Structure 1
């Protein structure tokens, strides 16, 4: 007789004893714990070990070839206009809008300095009145200006037959603080 078949009746008897003591939920819990242990031993531990070995190899390779790092200001910051030029830049933006035929109402300005980046930001809320047809071209011209971002555009038509819109335009202008 084979060794496994000799012990098979005893294993069945042990399983029935455990089933009586633990019940079906207990046996399922025991099976889940055994499966988790088997997964840990067979899959997770070897993968973690190989990850550790790869990490050590990479760190050794990096240590062999150190790179000289020079910290410089980003090129974008060097090319930004100065914050002192906000007034002429804003006049240019308003000039673009008036050249396109828009009527500019009371403009609201707000200055801020985002973090300690060496930048200053001018937020301008510009209420306009004008035709929808010219709006796309005007916005394209504004977007071409350096360090200008169109934040928000709202459109409102008072009457369905009217060709004129009430436009709420919010733009941000960035400048380098020197």
Structure 2
């Protein structure tokens, strides 16, 4: 496993060691001991989630607040996404900054998103299967987020205007300036 810094503290790109031969490939997608040894961060995950989406879908930007805040380890098993994490930790020197990383079944990259970030992704392939681990359990009452097209964040989701598909729930998310601390 190789770890790459993203420029946002503790938000990391993880590149697994892939063993390929004519039969296919094998890789260890997660190992708690290796993760903790290489990052110095906790690798205790308690919930796995999976979603399926089609081209143009933008999910996010989501987070959980308070005692239900979550760190996530995200990856793609089919297709490709642009994965986006925004630092919303008020005391962070990168507060309000974001990182965008292409994750795909082909590149097998993963993104570790620490607590204190909002997260989302756009689907760049015809369809995508997206998996993520969370270090805390989901709690509906603790949901928060930021509208995907917030002008202060200026995120390029790589989806042409008019081709986006956004849930009604995500269209109700507030601007970054109104985000309550998570």
Shorter-chain TM-score: what band? under 0.3
> Which has more radius of gyration?
1
Please identify which structure carries the higher helix content.
1
State the TM-score, normalizing by the size of structure 1: 0.22
State the TM-score, normalizing by the size of structure 2: 0.22
Q: Which of 1 and 2 has higher RCO (CA within 8 Å, sep 6+)?
A: 2
